[in-house]
Amino acid sequence: MLGTCSRWAVLPLVLLLLSHRVQATALTAMLAGSERSCYYADVDGTGEKIGFYFAVQSGGNFDVDFVVMDPDDKLLLEGSNEKQGDYIFTANKIGEYSFCFENEASMSDKLLDFDIMVESEPRRALSAQQAPLREHTSTLEESTYKISGLLSSITRSQKYFHTRHHRNYSTVLSTQSRIFWFTVLESVIVIGMSILQIWVLKTFFSRSGRRYKV
């Protein structure tokens, strides 16, 4: 019982040791046809991790071009006609990183969901006075990192299903629109054929100059 209590007592300490600064931006944006849109994130120290995720929710073929540049305008990532992407890289320079989306090759508007995350995860070492807590903190530390990994996996799965939902919904709307206009066209053709048949019959019976009432 004492061991369990001591573990709960050191849990805040472990959370403090595992605490790290995180800056995250989750946005939904509309990218018009033939438009280029850029977003920026500041990095305050070298070695920080940058996470970049995006997905095209609706519009056109669900694709977009993108580029990621460092503070010196050096190309880090690029893609053409990408539907979604999930990247993690290390920032080697301090400054402003740019994340640009391009829809210049398409005339249709695109709905984008994207996340830009900058985080630093230093593992702080325990001092000599805290050495007796190493046995407890090491176990809790590994458990915390496992939970963090599982939560990250769940978050990615949710993003995937969210994207699939939007794309399927967009496909359903597009299919409904096509069915409607196909029905209208079919009705116009049927009405036109009926009028044409009546005209042909009237012309056929009036060739001899006589008119027959049908």
Helix axis angle, 2-18 to 134-205, nearest 10°: 60
User: Which comes out higher in pLDDT, residue 6 or 67?
Assistant: 67
Give residue-wise pLDDT tens across range 70-125: 999 999 999 999 988 989 899 999 999 999 999 987 888 898 889 888 876 544 44
HEC string of the chain equals CHHHHHHHHHHHHHHHHHCCCEEEEEEEEEECCCCEEEEEEEECCCCCEEEEEEEEEECCCCCEEEEEECCCCCEEEEEEEECEEEEEEECCCCEEEEEEEECCCCCCCEEEEEEEEEECCCCCCCCHHHHHHHHHHHHHHHHHHHHHHHHHHHHHHHHHHHHHHHHHHHHHHHHHHHHHHHHHHHHHHHHHHHHHHHHHHHHHHCCCCCCCCC
Question: Can you read off the two tokens belonging to residue 98?
Answer: 């740019």
Gap between the Cα atoms of 157 and 63, Å rounded: 20
Q: What residues have CB less than 8 Å from 52, skipping those under 6 apart? A: 68, 77, 85, 86, 87, 88, 89, 99, 114, 115, 116, 117
- Domains of the chain (ranges; CATH) run 2-166 (2.60.120.680)
Please give the backbone phi and psi of residue 40, each rounded to the nearest 5 degrees, phi first.
-130, 150
Mean pLDDT in residue range 146-156: 76
Q: What are the structure tokens assigned to 46, written together?
A: 């070298």
Q: Tell me, what's the pLDDT at 27?
A: 82
Of 44 and 160, the one with more pLDDT: 44
Round to whole Å and give the CA distance between 179 and 95.
52
Which of 45-54, 119-128, 204-213 is predicted with the least confidence, judged by mean pLDDT? 119-128
pLDDT tens digits along 11-32: 444 444 444 445 555 688 899 9
pLDDT at 18: 43
State yes or no: pLDDT of 8 exceeds 50: no
Is the predicted pLDDT of residue 130 greater than 60, yes or no?
Answer: no
